Every structure is written in C-alpha cells, then in structure tokens.
Amino acid sequence: MELTLVIGNKNYSSWSLRPWLLMKQAGIPFTELRVPLYHTPDWQKQVLKHSPSGLVPALHHGAIKIWDSLAICEYIAECFADKKLWPTEIGARAEARAVSAEMHAGFQALRQNMFTNIRRRMPQRGRTPDVARDIERISAIWNDCRRRHATDGPFLFGRFSIADAMYAPVALRFQTYVVSMQGLAEDYMHTLLALPAMQEWISAAYAETESIAHYEPAEN
C-alpha cells in the first residue's frame, strides 16, 4: 500500500517537516500532498478532507490515517523496522523517546515567539526570558546527546533517528532567528541543516508563493 503524507506550506509548517524528513532520510517512498494553509477561505475544509483533526501533517496508508507528527513517526518505525528509526539499545531508545516527547509537548515559549519562517532572517526577535530558557534547554539536550554518542555517528544518538526528525524544525527556527549554539550543539545544528533532504525542503520553501501574514511580522 502506498504512503501519502499530507503537509502544509513548507515555509511555515514545521510539524510537517518531521515525518517528511524521516522518510526521506530512511529512503522510504511516499507521495506528498501539500495543502497550503490560510491561503484560501476553504483551506480548513481542504485539510479536514485528509486529517480528522484539521491539522497537518497526516499520513494515509490504505484505510489507516494518522494525524500527529510523532504518532506518524512511530507508525513508520513500526512498518519499517529494518530501518532502525529508534536506537537499538534499550537505554538510548528510551532517552530518544524522552527527548522527542519533550520536543513534541514542550518549548511553548519558543513556538509562540519564534514562528517558523524559512525565508526570513530575524535576528534578536522573540528573545524573551522564557525563550532563552527554552534555547538553553535545547542546547543542553543537543550537547549531552552528542557528547555521549559521538563515536556512533553525527546525530543525537549516533545514526539518524526519530529524535533528529523531531528537532530538525528547531534548527530551521534557530537559523531564521540567528540563534547561536556552542560546542557540539553547533556542529549538530549545521549537520541537520546540511542534509540533502533538509536543503530540498528549504529550496521548496523559497519557491512557494503563499504568504501567511500571522507569521510575517511587520518591518520596523
């Protein structure tokens, strides 16, 4: 059965990137269906045709529909167990799930003050104290994971995993808002951004013509 991934605008929909990147990195074929968000009066109806929650991303696999980015990644990992999309060692796998869940449910200040907008550069915007704490925590996660798994590969747990897909949108936000990382975290961010699949997503974001006013702050 063919996999179809329903996504939003690549310039703005950071959550859509997660399963898209995961499948690209794993070499899993899928059909991409892009539904531009906020672009037409009936955009929500268009999304609801594919996602019961009215949100993207959503994955269709035959009669199965999954409409949450982490749930989609978990489903893909189960369907393609040979791809080893979680670390194989039980302790590392538990940690990878923990940091993924923390990303999925947390960092609200970062989300609310540093919108995803790949085409823009907005240094110093959104730097609230709560955002600073979120950035510090993400930096600590990246540095800690990379320090302990450095000999296994260049990603958080050595080889590319769901954890990396979950944090890939953060690397794009940090690029937009010119957030500097230090040490191994800086190297890791550059590794994510340099992935051919990430560059493909970024190029597609620049090629899009839609503009969502809510994510385009007025110039000073």
Q: Are residues 16 and 48 in the same domain?
A: yes
Residue 151 domain-assigned?
yes
Tokens of 1: 């059965």
Q: Are residues 182 and 131 in the same domain?
A: yes
Q: Is the pLDDT of residue 8 over 70?
A: yes
Residue 212 domain-assigned?
no
Quickly tell me which residue has 């260049």 as its tokens: 154
Residue pair 24/198 in contact by the 8 Å Cβ criterion? no
Q: Are residues 112 and 195 in the same domain?
A: yes
pLDDT band at 214 (very low <50, low <70, confident <90, very high): confident
Domain boundary, last residue among 68, 83, 98 = 83
Residue 131 domain-assigned?
yes
Burial 74-88, CB ≥16 within 10 A → b, else e? bbbbeebeebebbbe
Residue 112: other Cβ atoms inside 10 A = 12
d(CA 112, CA 126): 9
Q: Are residues 63 and 109 in the same domain?
A: no
pLDDT band at 220 (very low <50, low <70, confident <90, very high): very low
Cα distances from 188 to residues 46, 61, 153, 193, in angstroms, run 37, 32, 11, 9
Q: Is the pLDDT of residue 22 over 60?
A: yes
Quickly tell me which residue has 């936000």 as its tokens: 173
Of the candidates 207, 210, 127, 205, which has an alpha carbon nearest to the alpha carbon of residue 169? Answer: 205
* Domain of residue 164, residue span: 90-203
Q: Are residues 123 and 21 in the same domain?
A: no
Residue 216 domain-assigned?
no
Tokens of 68: 């949450």
In percent, the amount of the chain with pLDDT more than 70 equals 99
Q: What is the mean pLDDT of residues 26-53?
A: 91
Question: What local confidence, expressed as pLDDT, does residue 37 receive?
Answer: 87
pLDDT band at 213 (very low <50, low <70, confident <90, very high): confident
pLDDT in tens, 157-185: 999 999 999 999 999 999 999 999 999 99
Residue 220 domain-assigned?
no
Tokens of 136: 């510090």
Q: What is the mean pLDDT of residues 65-74?
A: 97
Residue type, 136: E
Question: What local confidence, expressed as pLDDT, does residue 215 receive?
Answer: 86
Q: What is the mean pLDDT of residues 120-125?
A: 93
Question: What local confidence, expressed as pLDDT, does residue 40 receive?
Answer: 78
Q: What is the mean pLDDT of residues 187-207?
A: 98
pTM over the 0.75 mark = yes
Q: What's the CATH number where 170 sits?
A: 1.20.1050.10
Q: Is the pLDDT of residue 145 over 60?
A: yes
Q: Are residues 115 and 41 in the same domain?
A: no
Question: What local confidence, expressed as pLDDT, does residue 34 receive?
Answer: 96
Q: Where are the alpha helices (DSSP H) in the chain?
A: 14-26, 43-48, 69-79, 90-105, 108-113, 129-149, 162-176, 184-194, 196-207
Beta bridge partners of 168: none
Q: Is the pLDDT of residue 218 over 70?
A: no
Q: Are residues 112 and 198 in the same domain?
A: yes
Burial 191-216, CB ≥16 within 10 A → b, else e? bbeebebbeebbeebeebeeebeeee
Q: What is the mean pLDDT of residues 108-122?
A: 96
Question: What local confidence, expressed as pLDDT, does residue 219 receive?
Answer: 56
